Amino acid sequence: MIFNNRVAVVTGSTQGIGLAIAKILAKKGIKVVVTSRNIDKVKKAVAEIKNDGGEAFGLKCNVTNREEVKALGEKVVEKYGRIDILVNNAGITRDSSFKKMTDEQWDEVLNSDLKSVFIVTQELSKYMESNRYGRILNISSVVGLSGNYGQSNYSAAKAGIIGLTKTLAVELGKKGITVNAIAPGFIETAMTQEIPEKIRAEIIASIPVGRSGKPEDIAAAAAFLASEDAGFISGVTLSVNGAMYRA
């Protein structure tokens, strides 16, 4: 895969899928900007990447706050001169049945998981436009395609990301920017570790390839879509789920 010394911003990149993506991009020679609302976690992730021989720069950022995102872009460009790759990964869950879901639970997830993609992409894609080159990856979810009990807010946000991805691909394509989404299936992360063991076992048993996914499985797909080799792929949602959902 070809990268040519690019600069990448990965949101929510201090653990799980985001950290795995940041690490694989750094191993490819990309300068990686790690972001999170927790500066201690940011420092730890940056140290891990540097210990593996990669180059990383960490910044605290609340991706739902436009002013903080704007400042993030300015700091990255001040340090590296450009932004070539953006991975919108930051997100949360606030699960509840639809009947019991509160306005607060709905708004918090839609803001963190969907509106943040709108804000971050709007603020950072302008740097890609000026260079006539960019790769934007939005992390959706299998539940954005299939739905899931107790996750109406999360499913709506992740489905929204897919729709937004398709529109951005149309609007930004003429600027040399590709926009794609990845829809992970059941991945071993801190989020899925909270699921009761019996339910976890049932989910894994339903996956045709016979195992749960790893953050590295998603990272490998992200690395390809972020590369120059993927220049004619845009507006696509790539399911990485072990054939868990096949529609």
Mean pLDDT across 103-114:
98
What percent of the chain shows pLDDT beyond 90?
91
pLDDT-derived band at 2, boundaries 50, 70, 90: confident
Rounded to two decimals, the pTM is: 0.96
DSSP string covering 66-113: HHHHHHHHHHHHHHHS---EEEE-------B-TTT--HHHHHHHHIII
pLDDT-derived band at 3, boundaries 50, 70, 90: confident
Starting at the edge strand found earlier in the chain, the sheet holding 177-184 runs 56-60, 31-36, 7-10, 85-88, 134-139, 177-184, 237-240
pLDDT-derived band at 114, boundaries 50, 70, 90: very high
Q: How far apart are CA 128 and CA 125, in angstroms?
A: 5
pLDDT-derived band at 4, boundaries 50, 70, 90: confident
Could you give the domains of the chain? 7-240 (3.40.50.720)
Q: What is the pLDDT of residues 38-85, one digit of tens each?
A: 999 999 999 999 999 999 999 999 999 999 999 999 999 999 999 999
Catalytic sites, residue numbers: 154
Q: What is the pLDDT of residues 203-219, one digit of tens each?
A: 999 999 999 999 999 99
Residue 137, helix vs strand vs coil: strand
